[in-house]
Amino acid sequence: MESLSEAEIAQHHLSYYEKLFREMNPSGSPEIPAGQAAEFLRGSGLSVPTLSVVWEIADFRKVGSLNKKGAFIAFKLIAAVQQDKPTSIDLKTPLDAPKFPAIPPSARASPALSTASGTTDWEITPVEHAKYEAIFNSLGPVNGKIGGEVVRPVLLNSGLPQAQLARIWEMSDLNKDGMLDLHEMCIAMHLVYKCIETKVLPNQLPPSLLYSSRRGSVAGSARGSTVTSPTSGSRIIPPPMNNASRTSSVTSLNKADTRSIGSVHSETAVPRPGMKSIFDPSVTDFPVDRQLWEDDFVKLDLDRDGYVTGMDTRITLMGSGLSQQALAHIWSLVDIVKTGRLNSEQFALIMEIVKEVKLGVKLPEILPAHLIPPSLRASMPNMPLSPSEKANPKLRELSEEIEKIIEDRRKADMELAQLEADITIKNSTVKNLEIELNTLVATVKQLQNQKGEAQKRLAEMDERIEAYRATLEEGKKRLTSEEERLNKTKGEVNQAKENANAEEQILFSLREELRNLDNEVYQKKMELNKANQGITRIANEMNEMDQKIEKNNSEAVKVEEKKSELQKDLEDLDKAESPTSDNPILMKRFEELNTHGTAVASTSVAAFPTSFDSAFGNSDPFRGAGDPFSDDGGFDPFGNTKKTNGTNSFGSFDRDPFGQTDPFTSSSAGQSNNFADFAKFSAFGKMKTLFFFTLAFLAAVTFVYCTDEIKSLPGVTFDVKFKHYSGFFKVSDNHFLHYWFVESQNDAVKDPLIFWFNGGPGCSSLDGLLNEMGPYEVNPDGKTMKENPYAWNTFASVVYIESPAGVGYSYASDGNTTTNDDLTSYENYQAVKQFFNTYPSFRNHSTFIMGESYGGVYVPTLTARIVDGQSDFPINLRGMALGNGYVNEKLNIDTSVRFAYGHGLIDEKVWNTLEHECCRGCIDGCDLTQLGGHCAHLVEEIFQFLWFGGLNPYDLYRNCDPNPGVNSIKMTSYRAGLIPNILLRKFSKPNDPFKKYFNRLGASVPCLNDTDVLSYMNSPEVRKALNIPDNLPRWDICSDQITENYGKQYGDMAPFIKKIVNAQVRVLLYYGDVDMACNFMMGQQFAAQLGLKRQLNKTPWKFDKQIAGFKTQYKGLIYLTIKGAGHMAPQWRAPETTYAIRQFILNHPI
């Protein structure tokens, strides 16, 4: 702004801006004080607030005054506002020149900016002005003004509506002092008469009316300013006056700055001895010395045209201390020719008259002839007589008579105007009376008509009353009849309700049977599939065996042939060993073989020794290092493990000793004929492998059942009528998840199966087992447990998995527990599959995935994986349920503030600031995470109070634990885990107002006490009963390490929920309605935004004949609130929550 020049601001209006600046700054000082500049700028007609904005911009130096550039800026901004442009406009923008109605036209740039001199419809004529002045004087003005209570009857007599009269008063009372002077009275009366003549009342005061009223005042004064010649007796008529110039001159005097800045050569109004008044009749010549005031005149004549205007002299005249009325009168006396400007003689005269008035001299009505400046006498055709001529008595008498006639004429004019005004008022009064009379006559006629109509209506009402009486009697009879029918109907309804209850019980039983039948059918189908697979496998094996049998049959034929040949060879050999004399050839051959020449003895049985030991010398002739059948110390040669000496199952042989040759064949047979090749019996080998594998698998399953089963749980004070197991699932190379499985107390073979996950992230699912819906509850002593009557395993088997690794007893063998949403859902899926492999009998049960809090991320991501993996690993998945689930981080922040306000936790002023200043009037659609500045501080303060203000954020109406030393890890982890990534990312910058708030999330807030559960779970006896290895660290309900390092990946669960619903898997979202951590409004808005078809609007649901909450049902999804429940609804509203879950699992209405 400082770089702009005055020429760039004013552009082609530079000369006009220069003229305006001189008018604003007549003294030519470099700085214009604030008061002087403000008074000039008011002449633009703009409102004070708008001028305040203009001043703020124009005073760009902030020094409380304007220099020339600041004044030009103010002129440009006023022009902008007058042309409907904003004050923030570029100062180089071309605009028309500004308009200042209250300054002289001589300062305007062009005729287009001047006030037209011609009369308009709203101008006041001299006759009208005289009439209005007479009315004004008749009302008895005090100090030149009359009050509103005096003017009111006159205005009311006009008969105009009060609304119009009120507007007339507002436009007439220019200075808003509640009173009217003559000028303002003329305006008011003129507006009244114009409205009576059916003229439309203008929205603002017409400038022509304002100026003409001033002209009227001047003209009225000028009527007595003519000069009478003592000799001729004729009146001196001044030249025609310039209306526009005169108007602006008088207006300038009346609108001038009221502050006294001192007049030129001002003197104290003290009479000096011997000084004569200029009005003294004895003075014959022009008594004013022009030279005394010449220097002052030159200073005021800025344009050097030999004249000064009202604007040039206003500060000098106002500095005299005289009233505006007195100055206006003086000006009208001196401005003889009515041009709106004065020459140097007139200026000297007006200054002398001001001095005379200050000395107490009374102003005359007309200017004495000797005071007419000499320069004007030559231009006047009829000059008054000179003082020497006035000495003639006849001329003086004639002059006095003329003056008397003029005075009489003036009085007559005033009386005439008063009479005309009185007549107007009387006519107005008569007209008003006629209007009132006509109104009264019309009113009487209307009342008469109304009376006739009323009589008719009364007659009709009498008839109706009689008809109503008859109808009433008939109605009473019908009422009695209907009551009888109603009582009968009630009885039938009660009977129908009883029948409906019975039918509902039957229907419930039938549904239960149908569900069981569905499970059995599914199980039978699986068994049938397995049986068909077994039959197919056996049939294939039988085909292979038939082929082997055919091949073996052919082998058997060959064996029989070999056997016959062998039999024959044996017979021949026998003959050769014992030849007889019947065969001389054999005998001869035998003798040749017997080198000793002795006969061989017979090999009959009698020749064998009677004792085996005696025959072999009490020793085994085959024992030795090469004995393949030597003692192996009981080693099974058909086992899979080698002996310690490195030999295989066949002792010292590296292979089957019978694999290549048949020991039973003769030496002449040559190569083996495969008679003893057992490898050819492959069918028997495969069947043996399958048989041993089946036995091994059954043994492994039985082993897991036996090792993971909890035989005895320490501290249980009730009879446990169900089986329960505790163990680990290996979900990756280094991660092992601990589980605790409780079978159903009702029917473990058929009842549904639930997988449960608590949130955090980083909190154990055993919190749900031991604090919420498990079959046992830890007593305050931390050593014993009592039975939970509202346990969910009264109708389903439940698996509690501690996830991810590092939570509870789940661990990482390499110590690395870093994880995120995707890795957690993957490992949870592996745990679910391992459960079904370990407990295959539950594979066909109806399966549900459930959780709470940050389980709002665990459960949908896991369920979506199960849906995607159905083709590879089928699971009988029926539903998913979330309790106060953390399903959308942005909604959780936005709705928390609305929840707090709705529960009276936020001051009304803070709320209004958030709604109107920060959220543009609509807080419902406002993203509070994107606010900055003081708005962000407001949100920070709200959340600091919600979490650290002494309230329980998990149950607004539940007190915090009074013991400050209790364990509060769960609350710390929940609080840290539930802060959205959006806020953590936004408010992690340096000097951010939320940074301090989020750094406090690790602080301990003692609202939850879990010392009893911690004591029980870390008992050595309990660890041993749960099959927990001794090298695992102590158990904590939540892990700070997991919470702090957990990688959140998903801020919105909508895509996962939609996939699950589209897979025909039912979804339940239930919320305790006094939880502030994951409030019900988040769940409600989340469900509504999924785009699912709404099947049931919000409706109360009941438990034990009382409203327990509200439900909204969509296609595939139910949104449910639980009245009075906090974050852990199964713990704090156990009966209602258990009922809702059971109905959901059984697919019954809630």
Output the CA angle 138-139-140, nearest 5 degrees. 90
Cβ neighbour number for residue 1062 with a 10 Å cutoff: 11
List helix spans (H) across 381-392. 387-390
Task: Please report, to the nearest 10 degrees, the dihedral formed by the alpha carbons of residues 875, 878, 884, 889 taken in order.
Answer: 60
Pair 126, 190: CB distance under 8 Å: no
Name the maximum alpha-carbon separation found in the chain. Answer: 227
Checking phi first, is residue 1147 left (phi over 0); if not, alpha (psi -120 to 50) or beta? left
The structure tokens listed for 312 are: 């040039």
Q: What are residue 1099's DSSP bridge partners?
A: 1111
Where is 741: in which H helix or E strand? strand 735-742
Q: Classify 334 as helix, strand or coil.
A: helix
Where is 684: in which H helix or E strand? helix 682-708
Where is 879: in which H helix or E strand? strand 877-883
Strands 1117-1122 and 1066-1072: parallel
Pair 370, 284: CB distance under 8 Å: yes
Pair 191, 168: CB distance under 8 Å: yes
Strands 65-66 and 32-33: antiparallel
d(CA 917, CA 910) in angstroms, rounded, equals 10
Pair 803, 849: CB distance under 8 Å: no
- Residues annotated as catalytic (active site), given as ranges: 853, 1075, 1127
Torsion sign across C-alpha atoms 457, 462, 467, 471: positive
Output the CA angle 179-182-183, nearest 5 degrees. 95
Cβ neighbour number for residue 422 with a 10 Å cutoff: 13
List helix spans (H) across 796-917. 821-838, 855-868, 889-902, 908-912
Residues in the chain: 1150
Residue 342 — φ and ψ, nearest 5°? Answer: -125, 145
d(CA 495, CA 503) in angstroms, rounded, equals 12
The structure tokens listed for 245 are: 């110039």
Q: Measured in Å, how far apart are the chain's first and last C-alpha atoms?
A: 72
What is residue 1052's DSSP assignment? B
Residue with tokens 């090298």: 1031
3-state secondary structure 396-450: HHHHHHHHHHHHHHHHHHHHHHHHHHHHHHHHHHHHHHHHHHHHHHHHHHHHHHH
d(CA 753, CA 116) in angstroms, rounded, equals 97
The structure tokens listed for 798 are: 């439940």
d(CA 362, CA 366) in angstroms, rounded, equals 12
Cβ neighbour number for residue 862 with a 10 Å cutoff: 27
List all residues 6 or more positions away from 826 whose beta carbon is below 8 Å from its beta carbon. 865
The structure tokens listed for 99 are: 């308009």
Give the C-alpha distances (Å, rounded to integers) separating 1062 from 670, 1059, 1116.
76, 5, 8
- The amino acid that residue 1032 corresponds to is L
List all residues 6 or more positions away from 722 whose beta carbon is below 8 Å from its beta carbon. 742, 743, 744, 745, 748, 775, 793
List all residues 6 or more positions away from 63 whose beta carbon is below 8 Å from its beta carbon. 31
What is residue 47's DSSP assignment? -
Q: Classify 785 as helix, strand or coil.
A: strand
